[in-house]
Each structure stands twice: as C-alpha cells, then as structure tokens.
Structure 1
Amino acid sequence: MNGSTNSRGMPSNGIKEQEEATLALNSNDGPRHRPLTLIRALRGILCLVTLLSTAFMLLIYLAPITILIVRMFSVHYSRKATSFLFGIWLSLWPFLFEKINGTKVVFSGDMVPSEERILLLANHRTEVDWMYLWDLALRKGFLGHIKYILKKSLMKLPIFGWGFQIFEFISVERKWESDELIMKKKLSAFKDPKDPLWLALFPEGTDYTEQKCLKSQQFAAENDLPILRNVLIPKTKGFYACLESLRNTLNAVYDVTIAYKHRCPTFIDNVFGVDPSEVHIHVQRITLNEIPTSEEEAAAWLIERFQLKDQLLSDFAARGHFPHHVPEENLSTLVCLVKFLVVIVTTSLFTHLTLFSSVWYKVYVAFSFTYLTAVTYFDILPSPVLCSSIKSLFCSKKMS
C-alpha cells in the first residue's frame, strides 16, 4: 500500500489533502488572483473616492428628508424613501464587484423567492462578507431593505456610520448583558409586516481566523460541542432574540454559506479588484416551523446548522463549488451605468449648490452634518410624533 491509515481507517494522505484544502479555504495569504498594477491601483482609488464622495453628498442632502421630515409622519414611508434613494447608491457596490473588478458571483442551493421578510444567517469568513450579500439582495429587490447586526465600533466609521444609522442597523457590544435590551428594543421596531426586511446576522460574532478557530475548538471541547474547522461555534442568544421577536412576521430563514475561490479577500482587495476571483453563495431556505420555539432547542438547532455549514465548506474546499447551482440573472450593465450616472449627476448638483449657490445651502449642510453626527452618536431616530399628535387631536375632537 502507498499510504498508511489512521485509527479511523482513513488514509493518511487523504487527511493531509483535506487539511491542506481547508487551510487554503481559510487563508488570507498566498498570491493574489490578479496582480496589483499601477492602473488597477489608480482605478481602485478613483472608485473608492467616488463612492465615498457621492455617499457623503447624498447623505448630507437626502438623509434629513427621509429620516427626519418623512419619519415625523410615517416610519413606513420613511423606510421606503430611504430604501429607494440610497438603494441606488448601494447598487454601485455590486457594479464595482461584478462589472469593474470582474469577480464572478456564483449562487447555489435553493431558488429563493422575492418579496419575503427573512432572517438571514451567514458565516463570517472575512471582513467583506456582508458586502457580497448585497449582490443577492439586489437580485431579489431587497438591496435597500437589508439590515445588519454589527459591532458598535463600526458605527464610528466616517460616512459609513451615518449610512448604518439611517438604514437602522443594530449595533452591539458583543456582551449579552448590555446587548439584550438594545437588541430587543431595536427588533421591536421591525415587526410591521408591511415593511420589507432582510435582517442579516453573523452568529459567529466575528470574522474567521485560525487563532479564533483554535479558541472556538477549545471552547467546544470543554462544553461537549462539535469541533468545527471552517466556522466558529455560533453565539445563540442573539439568534434566539431575533427569532423570538420576529417569528410571527417572518416568511422564512435563509441559511447562507459564503466561500471564496483561492483566497479570502480584504476590503482593500475589493477596492483594487485583485481578489476574489469568485464568490460562492449557497442559500438554504428554511421555514419557521422547522425551527424549535424553545431557547435551548433553538440553540442546539443553530449549532447543528453550523456543523452542516462546516461540512459544506469542507466539500467546497475539495470540489471547488457548492452543490445545486442556481442560475441567477446577471446584472445589467446598462442599468448599472444608468444608476451610476444618476448618482454622479445628483452629487454634482448638490456640490454645485453647496459651493456656488445661496448661503442657505451651506447652512443646510452644516445642520445636516450636525444632525447625522448626533443621531449616529446617540443611536436615535425620531418617532412619528406629528402623525401621532394629529391622530390624537382628531380622535379627541371626534369623541367630544
């Protein structure tokens, strides 16, 4: 025989190949898919500056209208306006990934329908996983309605923090003692079935690294949990809080597994277009009646899902793809260009008004900057007080 076997009867060379494939799957090292040339670097810087500058001007001029003026009358229409206006800007990111950088996005698993309110569970391979969920949401018409549960420190990012706030992302400290009340309060605002919702949760709580994986495996061994190689043991309390709060208003849970071909990308890799060569997104649609209602059983269900996800990633490392390819529609280059032109023209108009028009535009910009900074820092959004006041006044007059 050419190879020895281990105590379980598995060939040693087979174990070595599996370990090497797993290491490659989880690695941020190794050669980039495309070399970082001067042209690619300049193009990436231009794209990043364009995205940030357009985001700044759109937020400064439009956010106070959608999350202050409109929201005073209706939370529902405030969310619709925010989703429509800023969803156009968000669509520039899939345009960057798929059309400019040439990254191939491959979908597999269940063909999921549009127009569903869902809780989305995803593994956290690297710092940009959440951005590639936009590619799926765009195809389902939910790009402006996707909300993330993210760590609080990200709210301090310039410009991005404002965006996270107006989209009503839930920021957490990753300490359940302080996060429980915050999450339940925020989740209670998402119960209206008229509001489209994709609530994205990364139950691992942090992105994957080899060091974090070793700590997770040690925790699993000490607590009689499965030993996972490609994912971390998920945190169950946040998942159950989402499930408990929204179960009666959701259509389904999407279990999403993300993998990258050859190398896990960083944010800078995305900007310069050097990686990834391919992003593979596997979706399994799960109905709510398949998930236990008790906290203990729901926690066990989630851990079992991540055990299956771990195996799915091991199979991906060996085969190079997920099972059951789904032929999702390619993005339209024409539509992407039209949206890009809309954003550029609108931003140019706002810039001109700020620099060369009435002083009142400068006053508005200063007010808007202060307002967005305040609502993001204090994590608040106005309630529809005008609508409530008018309704109360009308009811009191009618009773009298």
Structure 2
Amino acid sequence: MEVSRPLKPDDKLKHRPLTPFRIMRGLTCLVVFLLTAFIFLVYFGPVAAVILRLFSLHYCRKTTAFLFGLWLALWPFLFEKINKTKVVFSGDSVPSTERVLLIANHRTEVDWMYLWDLALRKGCLGHIKYILKSSLMKLPVFGWGFHILEFISVERKWETDEPVLREMLSTFKNPQDPLWLALFPEGTDFTEEKCRRSQDFAAKAGLPVLSNVLLPKTKGFCLCLEDLRHTLDAVYDVSIAYKHQCPFFLDNVFGVDPSEVHIHVRRIPVEEIPISEDEATAWLIDTFKHKDQLLSDFKSQGHFPNQGTEAELSTLNCFLNFTVVISLTAIFTYLTYSFNLFRIYVGLACLYLAFATYFNIRPMPVQGFHSLFYRKEMKRE
C-alpha cells in the first residue's frame, strides 16, 4: 500500500498545463457527454420514468437506474481513465447492498461527482440521489436528467423546502428499492470567507469552531433520518480531500485538476444514531467536528488512515460501457435524422421533459397496476 507524503505549506500546486490537446479533448468529451445525455433522456426517459412508472414505481426505478447508470459511468471513466486522476479510498469498506443516507463535506462544486466513483464500485451508481440547490435543475439537458433520476431540489429556505423534502422522502420508503441518498449538510461549498462567518456564528452560539468544514445545517439531516430511519441500514460519513488544489467543473472537463482525490468513508449503523432531534443534531455536529480533525490530519500527513479499501476501476469494463453508450447514441441519432416519426417523438419528449422538470411533475402508479405488481413482488419474497 502506497503512503502519500505529507503536504507541506510550501508545496507548489500540481496543476497540469492547459494545452491545446487538453482543450480539444475536453471539448470533445463535453460534446459527447451532452449528446449521449440528450439521446438517453429523450428516448429512455419517458419510457422508463413515465410509462413504466404508471405500472410499478419499483420496476421504474430499477430500469431507470440501469439505463442511466450506463451514462453516469462515463464520468468516472473520464476522471480516472482519461484524465488519469488518482482516486484513493480509505476508512471502512462498505457493502454493496445497503440502503444508506450519505453525508459529505462540500469543498467545491464537483464533490458530488466524485461520489459516483464510489457508487460505481458498489453497483449503486443509478441508485444515488442528491439533495441539491434548485438552480441546478435549470441546467440544459442535465437538469432533465436530475429530474428523471429523482434528485431533490431545494431553495435553502426551510419553510419552502420542508414540504418538498417530506413529499419526496415519502416515495423512498420501500426497502426493496436500493437507495443512496446524498446530502451535503454544510449547504454550500467551502470558501475562506464562508468559513470565517461560520466560525463567528459558532463562537457566539457556543458550538465547535471548525477550520476545514462549515458548521452543518441540521434540519435536513434530521428530517431525512426521521422519515427513512426504519428503511435505512447505515449512514455513510464521507470526507473528501484534494491534493494541492480543489478542482472546478472545467478543470475536470479539461483534465488539468485534480491530480488526486482522497475519499474517506466511515460507516455508522443507523441504530447507533440517536432518535430524538436534539440528540441527532448534536451527533451531526460532533460528526463534523471529527471530520474537521480528519481533514486537518490529511493536510499534515497527505493521506487519510486505512488507505486502499477499494480497487481501481477495470479499464476493460469502462471501455465496454463507453462502447455501449456510444453505440446506442449512434443508433438513435441515425433514426432521429432518418425518419420523421422519430423526430416527432424526440420533439414531444423534449416538450414533456422541459415541462415536467420545470413544474416538478412525476406521475404516480395507477393503483390497480401498483397493487398487482406489489403482490407479485411479495410472492417472490
């Protein structure tokens, strides 16, 4: 097991040069990702997440997770195989079949994308759902994907967000549906200015003064835990750190940063987390205090404890997945440009996806079909 050398204050930032080759490769990857996302959404989105959803929410989610998991796997392929970013996992080795609430620190705008690297290794890539700010739902094409994958958008105003959270969480309670619900309790990405404001507030409130994370907002966490506790197996406390420099989205696209991503996972069985809201609040704050110390140790030592809990991604599997996605995209692109019927379908699908995402519309199963499918599932149990 390789042990990284400590980070020193005088270390220079390891920033790969932005060469013309990297620019062309990055733009090509971005175009490919947008085109494949568009084709998958317009052709598979209405079928998997609308028509099938009318019959069975469970099978709708299984189908959606499989199809869009193929597309999501392009991102770890970009990070680890094309950009050659080293992703190092440490801490607890977690199983593949658990329903979990995942809490993570928020260093930069792309933290959530690196959670896909962990989910892919656990076979849960299509089952990971994020609680994210509503502005991200307005991104072209990607916002449609967030809606189809049932990400929960919030305004960061509790009076507005609480009923939205409760409504969405009520649909996630079936223990037969795999679930990784990812939450960033800090509520925003980390900056020095935000850290100073958080420290000032903590000092006045008699709470821990943290240096590497912001003081967590606790209401969303407590609500998720309250509503899902009886169907969850564990909470994963994930700490993310970057060697030398935090990346931004375009750094990932062009492959100039980061050189290394370190992801530490601590698994806490859900029964070990207090039930009362006050005690759960104190537990979360104490967890972020522990996370703050863990990140301080990373700065001084250059690594998290117990490295090497996950193997590298298989290059062959990544390439095969890429080939499948590109082949499906090529076939449906040809059909779209060759036949009027397919062009009409794409136009209608775009109208529906734009409308459904803007108004946050998700059809619920027709009761008769839902009961029929539910009985079949119970018989198989």
Query: What TM-score, normalized by structure 1, do the two folds share?
Result: 0.89
Structure 1 residue 387: Cα displacement: 3.8
Alignment of 1:63-142 (within 5 A): 63-142=45-124
Aligned mates of 2:142, 2:183 — CA distance in 1: 18
Alignment of 1:156-167 (within 5 A): 156-167=138-149
Aligned mates of 1:355, 1:293 — CA distance in 2: 56
Matched, 1:216 2:198: yes
Aligned mates of 2:272, 2:316 — CA distance in 1: 41
Structure 2 partner of 1:385: 366
Aligned mates of 2:246, 2:94 — CA distance in 1: 26
Note closer, same or farther for the CA distance 1:38–1:172 as it changes in structure 2 (3 Å cut).
same
Note closer, same or farther for the CA distance 1:177–1:276 as it changes in structure 2 (3 Å cut).
same
Aligned mates of 2:361, 2:51 — CA distance in 1: 15
Q: Deviations over 1:330-365 (max 9, x none)?
A: 1111111111111111111111111112x1111101
State the secondary structure of the residue aligned to 2:172: coil
Residue identity in the other structure for 2:352: Y
Alignment of 1:196-211 (within 5 A): 196-211=178-193
Aligned mates of 2:157, 2:62 — CA distance in 1: 32
Contact 2:7-2:302 within 8 A present in 1 as well: no
Aligned mates of 1:19, 1:75 — CA distance in 2: 48
Structure 2 partner of 1:314: 296
Structure 2 partner of 1:290: 272
Aligned mates of 2:83, 2:367 — CA distance in 1: 46
Note closer, same or farther for the CA distance 1:20–1:167 as it changes in structure 2 (3 Å cut).
same
Structure 1 partner of 2:357: 376
Structure 1 partner of 2:378: none
Q: CA RMSD in A?
A: 1.9
Matched, 1:363 2:344: yes
Residue identity in the other structure for 1:53: L
Structure 2 partner of 1:194: 176
Residue identity in the other structure for 1:260: Y
From the CA coordinates, give the structure whose radius of gyration is larger. Answer: 1
Structure 1 partner of 2:125: 143
Residue identity in the other structure for 2:112: W
Contact 1:110-1:326 within 8 A present in 2 as well: no
Structure 1 partner of 2:377: none
Contact 2:103-2:184 within 8 A present in 1 as well: yes
Aligned mates of 2:309, 2:113 — CA distance in 1: 21
Contiguous gaps of at least 5 residues in structure 1: 1-17, 25-29, 392-400
2:154 to 156, 172, 179: 172
Aligned mates of 2:25, 2:91 — CA distance in 1: 34
Contact 1:261-1:276 within 8 A present in 2 as well: yes
Query: What TM-score, normalized by structure 2, do the two folds share?
Result: 0.94
Aligned mates of 1:219, 1:129 — CA distance in 2: 25
Structure 2 partner of 1:238: 220
State the secondary structure of the residue aligned to 2:18: coil
Residue identity in the other structure for 1:349: I
Aligned mates of 1:276, 1:19 — CA distance in 2: 15
2:319 to 333, 337, 340: 337
Structure 1 residue 20: Cα displacement: 7.8
Note closer, same or farther for the CA distance 1:389–1:290 as it changes in structure 2 (3 Å cut).
closer
Structure 1 partner of 2:209: 227
Residue identity in the other structure for 2:113: M
Contact 2:92-2:309 within 8 A present in 1 as well: no
Aligned mates of 1:80, 1:338 — CA distance in 2: 21
Structure 2 partner of 1:51: 33
Structure 1 residue 327: Cα displacement: 3.6
Query: Structure 1 segments of 4 or more deviating over 3 A?
Result: 18-21, 386-391
Aligned length: 369
Q: Deviations over 1:146-202 (max 9, x none)?
A: 000000111000111011001100100011111111101111110000000000000
Structure 1 residue 389: Cα displacement: 8.2
Q: Percent identity?
A: 65
Structure 1 partner of 2:263: 281
